[in-house]
Structure formats: structure tokens, C-alpha cells
Amino acid sequence: MVGFECMKKKKKKKNKEIRELQLKVVRLYDEFTQFSDQCAFLCDSFAAVPAQQEYIESETIGGISFYSHWLKIRLLEIKNELRKIHEQLSKIQKL
């Protein structure tokens, strides 16, 4: 009976960890969807700048540089979050 209780506790813990990961995936998906929309807007904006202006003002160049940096940082954050979820899933699968 002790072995059965131990297995039951392990399964309960595993189910809890899976639920937590499911919530993380849903949250990350929502964040990624918003980020994807922002990227599409920025890409359209970046493409429109040279088409509408012969001379690109320094403020515009500064804004493009700022948002390019922001895109890189945000992509790294999403990549790291996905890596953590992957590691947690791998750990749970070993239980």
C-alpha cells in the first residue's frame, strides 16, 4: 500500500507540474501573438519610411535603431522562456 501511495503522490505532483507548464505555454503564446503583431506593424513602418521620404531624419533613424534593438531583446526573452519550458517538460517526462 505504501508503494501505491508513493506512486499516487508522484502522479499528483507530475499533473500539477504539467498544469503549471500548460499555463506558461498559454501565457507565452499570448505574449508571442502580441509581439508578432507588433513586429508586423514595425516591419510595415520600416518599409514605408524610405518609400515616403528621400531624406530620413535622425529621429527616424534613432527610432528604427531603438526598435530594432527592442526586437532582438524580446526575441531572446521569448527564446529563453521556451528553453525553460522545454527543460521543465524534459524533467517531467523523466518522472
pLDDT along the chain (95 residues), means of 10: 78 89 93 94 86 82 90 94 91 79
CA–CA separation, 59 vs 62, rounded Å? 5
Share of the chain above pLDDT 90, in %: 47
By the 8 A CB rule, do 49 and 60 touch? yes
In the 8-state DSSP scheme, what is residue 55? Answer: S
pTM: 0.73
State the chain's mean pLDDT as an integer: 88
Q: Name the nearest CA neighbour of 70 among 33, 30, 24, 38.
A: 38
Quote the pLDDT of residue 2.
67
Residue 35's pLDDT is 94
